[in-house]
Amino acid sequence: MAIDRRLERSEAVARYGLIGRSLGHSFSQRYFTEKFAREGRTAARYDLFELAEVSELPDLIRNTPGLRGLNVTIPYKQTVVPLLSELDPVAAAVGAVNTIAIHADGRTTGHNTDVEGFRVTLQPLLERLAKRDTDIRPRALVLGNGGASRAVAYVLREAGIRFRIVSRDRTMGDLTWEQLDRTVVGVCPLIINATPLGTFPDVDDAPPLPYNAIGPDHLLIDLVYNPEETLFLKRGKVQGATTANGLTMLHAQAEAAWRIWEAE
C-alpha cells in the first residue's frame, strides 16, 4: 500500500507551503515559485497557509492533496512540535521546527533548517572580522526568545561563543530589555536580532538598545529580511558596525528544506 501511495504522489502536483499567523511579509512563496520555474518543475507549487491557530495543522494536511512539505514561521516554530510524529535530532536539540516533511504514510517529521541558515550566515562574517584582528567570539546578545532565537543559540554554542538571551520576561531569558545599558551592549560585540521588530510593514520599529554604545568592533545580524536593511541595521551602520540581514539565512534554510523534501 505504501508503494502505491508513493506512485500516486509522483504523478500528482507536489505541493509545499508556509504556515504562520500572518504571512504578508514572506518571500518564501516567490522564492520557491521562481526555483520551480528555473528547474522546470511544472508539477510543483508553493502556497501560503495562514493559520489562526497551530491546532489547524492536522486538518490542513488532511485536506490538501499532494502536500509534501511545509515551512513554519512565527509564532508556531515551538508550538507545532507536539503535533508532529517525530523530530530529527537537530530539531529535538533546538526545541523548535521550521520545516516539516510529510511522508507518504502520513507521518510528519520536524526539522530545523534555521540552524543551517544561521551557520552559513555567521561563519563568513566571523572569518572576515578575524582578518581585521577583531575578536567577537567572547560574548553575544541574542534579542528574542522564540524559535529563531533557539536556532541561533544552537549555532553560537557550536562556535564556542558565550551569549545571553534578551526577553521581555526575565524567566524566559537571561536579561530583560531594561537591562541593556551601555556597559552590557559595549561588552557584547555580536548582537543578533531574532525578533520580528522592524519587519515590513512596521519598518519604523527597532529593538530598544542604547545604539550609541555600538561601535566599529560590533557585528549586528538581523534575521529579518524584509526590508533588506532594517532600522536596527541602519542605526548600527551609522555607529560603524558591520551589519548583515537575514537574506543569506533565508536562502540557505530554504535550500536545506528543499533537500529534505526531495529526499522523501
Residue at grid coordinates 519587519: 199
Residue at grid coordinates 551601555: 182
Catalytic residues: 77
Of 40, 83, 214, 41, the C-alpha closest to 141 is 214
Question: What type of residue is 83?
Answer: L
Question: What type of residue is 84?
Answer: L
Q: Provide the β-strand partners of residue 69.
A: 16, 101
Cell numbers at 16, concatenated? 509545499
Q: How many residues does the chain have?
A: 264
Of 220, 223, 213, the C-alpha closest to 237 is 220
How many C-beta atoms surround the C-beta of residue 5 within 10 A? Answer: 13
Give dist(CA 190, CA 196) in Å, integer. 18
